[in-house]
Every structure is written in C-alpha cells, then in structure tokens.
Amino acid sequence: MATKKSKPSTPGSRHRIAPVFDDVTVSKPTVKRLVKGKDQSGGRNKQGRMTSRHRGGGHKRRYRQIDFNRDKHDIPAKVQTIEYDPNRSARIALVAYADGEKRYIIAPDKLSVGDSIISGTTGVEPDVGNAMPMKHMPPGTFIHNIELHPGQGAQLCRSAGTAAQMVAKTDRYVTVKLPSSEVRMILGNCIATVGSTSNPDHFNTTIGKAGRNRWKGKRPHTRGVAMNPIDHPMGGGEGKASGGHPRSPWGQSSKGLKTRKRKKLSDRYIVRSRKKSKK
C-alpha cells in the first residue's frame, strides 16, 4: 500500500497525505455472519454522565469478528478477499477453509487473493500467513499476532505495519524482540503468525483537517493552561505565564509519571525493557 498527497484545492487537502486502497478488493463485507453492530457510548456511562472526555459523534461502524486464535489446525484455507476494517489500522482478509467455513484474519503484508495459508502444530512451513506455535519456528523469523498465553488469542503486534522478531528459543520459552525494542520471553506453545501486518504506510498518513478526527469520534481537546484556575490545576496566570507540573484536571501527575506496578508478575519474563534499550 502507498499514500497519495492531494493538491491544495481546499485548506483541508493542503497538508493531507491520504491512504491508497489499492490492496482492498471489495467495498463491503461479503459474509454477513461475521459482521455485527457496534455500540458507541460517546464517553457516557449507563447513567448518561460523561466519564471519558473528548469522545462522541463519529461515523457509525460495524464490527468484524476476527479470528485471533487461529485454532483451525491442519485445514488449508484460501484467501478470498482483502477488506477494509474501520475498527483497526491493518487490513483484514477473508479466508475460506477446505471444509467450507469462512473467517476473518488480520491480513499479513504481501498476502493476496488466491494465496493458501494453514495453521497447525507440526509440519507447517514458516511462510507468510501461516500460524503455528513459536517453538516450531526457526530463530530470526518475523512474526505478528502473538499470543501471551496459550489459547488466549493474539494480543501483540496487531496494528498496521508491525512485526516482532523471534531471536532465540529454549525448551520451554522463546525470546521475542517487540516493535518497542522490548525483549521478552513467551511460552513456546503460544501461536503466532509468520510475517508482518498489512498497511505498513499507515504511519505516513496525515489527516489534514480537524473534521476528519470528528468522523473518528474524537471531540476537541482544550489545553489545561488555557483554562481558569477553577477549571484546571494548570490554569490561570498572566498571559502565558501559567502552567506548572503537568497534571490532569483531578491533580494526578502526567507526562512521565510511572504507573506500572513495581512488582508486576510479568516483569520476570522481560529480558530487556523498552526504556533501557533506547539509551
């Protein structure tokens, strides 16, 4: 996938870098059974009170049920379509299994209509789109849709253009380098998909105007330093001589405050944290 830069015919198109949907083969979902309605709260709870700011509006969406488990083992599947999903940045692929069942998966990069994929525990080649336990993959393989616990479903590397690399493996664990540069150990029985996710140019896009964020359901955000002292801890002052330590309207420090538990159980599996690896 590539991007295109619009001619500055309007203020909103002057700086816009838009995605190109050449890789999308159909304009609407083809299997109604895999699509259901999706409610939007607009940031309100069941009493109707706003509990999350800067949310509301937006275009209506329908949710595509994605197979993150890839638990249909040893049955080959063929890619039917590559589709757009409004709920995620990567493309999705509709695959039809040999027994007639159809499912949506996160489309790997360079996967096209007509390609065959398979998931299984043994005898599966590490080709793009194939899913298998990581203990059966050779070190150095680039993977995505990674499970953290066997059978739980993929949780890591699901957004557009992301991939992790398996750098080593032992009898029980494999060592994976994540896109954040964090290196951690994961059980070798966890399933991952070979390759990187589709739509790698998603990070190069520029929305061009504020209205495009409104279509996504994002409402305007007012800076705390632009408020009065009664409205925000960072408000008030003469001119721009306001501010102080960055904090939320309720006084909680932000922009650097560490919120991770100091004795979190999963810390024992982190070989090198993403913070230390960037020094």
- pLDDT band for 277, please (50, 70, 90 cuts): low
Q: How many CB atoms sit inside 10 A of residue 180's CB?
A: 14
In contact, 83 and 59? CB cutoff 8 Å: no
Angle at 48 between CA 44 and CA 51, to 5 degrees: 35
- Give per-residue pLDDT as tens, 24-72: 999 999 899 999 999 999 999 999 999 999 999 999 999 999 999 999 9
Q: Do domains 3-202 and 222-279 have the same CATH topology?
A: no
Burial class (CB in 10 A: 0-12, 13-18, 19+), 2: exposed
Sign of the torsion angle spanned by Cα atoms 269, 106, 114, 22: negative
pLDDT for residue 29 = 93
Assess contact for 43 and 54: CB atoms under 8 A.
yes
CA atoms within 13 A on the CB side of 266: 11
CB 6, CB 13: distance < 8 Å: yes
Domain boundaries, the chain: 3-202, 222-279
CB atoms closer than 10 angstroms to residue 72: 19
Categorize the per-residue pLDDT at 242 as very low, low, confident or very high, splitting at 50, 70 and 90.
confident
Percent of the chain residues past pLDDT 70, beyond the cut: 99
pLDDT digits over 171-195, tens only? 999 999 999 999 999 999 999 999 9
Which numeric CATH code is attached to 3-202? 2.40.50.140
User: In the prediction, which pLDDT does 249 show?
Assistant: 93
Closest C-alpha to 208, from 4, 14, 7: 14
* Domain 222-279 part of CATH 4.10.950.10: yes
Nearest Cα neighbor of 194 from 260, 278, 106, 271 is: 106
210 exposed, middle or buried (CB, 10 Å; 0-12, 13-18, 19+)?
exposed
pLDDT tens per residue across span 243-252? 889 999 999 9
